Structure 1
Amino acid sequence: MATPAASAAAPLELVPSAAPEDVRRRELAGFLRSRRERISPEQVGLPAVGRRRTPGLRREEVALLAAVGVTWYTWLEQARDIQVSPQVLDAIARALLLDPNERRHLFVLAGNVDPAPAASCPTVTPSVQAIMKQLEPFPCVAVNNRYDVLGYNSTYRLLITDLDEVAPEDRNIMLLAFTHPDWKRGLVDYQQATALMVAKFRSSMADHVAEPAWKALLKRLRLASPEFDALWQQHEVGMSGNGDKRFLNPHVGLLHFDFTTLWLGPGPSTRLISYTPSDEETRDRIERLHKLATEG
């Protein structure tokens, strides 16, 4: 019998950890089984024929509903190393009656891009609106990753031009920056700001290349602005973050801010951008601008 000292000195057997792809396939297999087992045949218009050893649909029924081979679908639930197309995943998601969150999870586990992702909400909630109001007199705006303006507080309304006077369909920061004369004057570091904006937009569009709203905005920008088109053709990419920005306001003059980006969801979509004065002069001027925006 080994003594405690001898046992302590014995070499430990190293167990290799599973490869990330193996873990992902097992997660996918378990997720598919769990979704299949919660659906009754009646829910999808199938007859409940014969005794069932397990609850829910059979694998061959899911394959039938998704119009895929039974063997192929079985391999998915067995965590086999096989390739799956977005179109097949879309069919499986529909067959299993997945909600938007479950559908997104399916595509992430399969390592694929959803060809028809759930549309992002075009408005902000009352709680987010309350946050923006509470941040006054500091400017704050809510935008999606397409740069559509979804909401703003009273100070941001007058930061460059009166946003209330801009048609809702034109309230897009990129469109304003490249086509609105007040925004061209108001962005002090115009070349740097617009180049970074286009790079971020290109990065975001990689997940939305087939969506009509994204394609329509891109077409509109390329036709309306040779400056945008030239930047777009450079294929630069970038990510949203924090930094500093300067604006030349027609009412109070030069404003210098540190801006902070706060994401409002689980993925990079809707975000709040708040602007904190970088110096006392800007702080005094933003107080005056806020007063002008709220008192008229």
Structure 2
Amino acid sequence: MSGSDDTIAVVVVTYNSERFLADLIASLGPGLDGLDWHLTVADNASVDATVETVRRLAPAATVVEMGRNAGYAAGINAGVAAAGPHGAVLVLNPDVRLGPGCGRELLRVLRSPGTGIAVPRLVDGDGDLIYTMRREPSILRVLGDALLGAERAGRRPALGEVVTDHRRYASEAVTAWAEGSTLLISAECWRRCAPWEESFFLYSEETDFALRAGDVGLATRFTPAATAMHLEGDSRVSPGLWALLTLNRVRLFRRRHGRVATAAFWAALLLRELSRALLRRRPSQAAVRALMSPARFRETPGPHTVRALAG
């Protein structure tokens, strides 16, 4: 394909996502208006009509049938490998809807010197701002979250991982990482940092990728000029998913820090989840059980892990 340097490979990972696809696919035209792009969908063995719906609504799309629920990172890696020539990769969750012109603005920001990943301003289904920018995980930030709550801690850079100051979302900014539902990744960043780490299965893989990009001098840059809607998942209400998210935070920290620091990070997370478990919050109760189980840290996460953690 000619002009591949300006072509965007749109990669969507699906798992029983049939209900989201019509709106997602309808948003791609206006969202990527004026750009050359192609769609690749990596399906993690959906049992609904996800694959049939993609082929009906987007007949030109490339569909990669994974044959099993291999996880988010594995789907992204397979989707990019199957995509045609491209100069950037747009990773999208199936429950994202791009705003008009979103792709052009993200591409403009991606071309800023030293930028490897560009992310938009996201809102939820009610139109409310989603706090997408993140600081690097640290022991003090987990403790700040535990003692002050994410909203209050996030207004203080040293104490909160999630950036919760609305003013920070009014202008372009560099962030350590951003939630992974809508990411435009440069070809250079992909070449230097890929593949995504598949051992996480779900959660923390986008954190790992963005932090590794930062390690080689490629920043994640937020822009409010690009907008999208993310309906968001159910990790906060699903005990199994919240427990996996919590475990993967420790696994990620362990990849970047020593044993002593990781033990302190684990203890801070346990304190945080215990404080919420005492309020009878089932996701935190599942997270506490997972954090107290050495076997959970040794196993490779997968669908079986989520079912077991839901316990």
Normalised-by-shorter TM-score class: under 0.3
Structure that is richer in strand per residue = 2
Larger radius of gyration: 1
TM-score, normalization by structure 1: 0.25
Higher helix share: 1
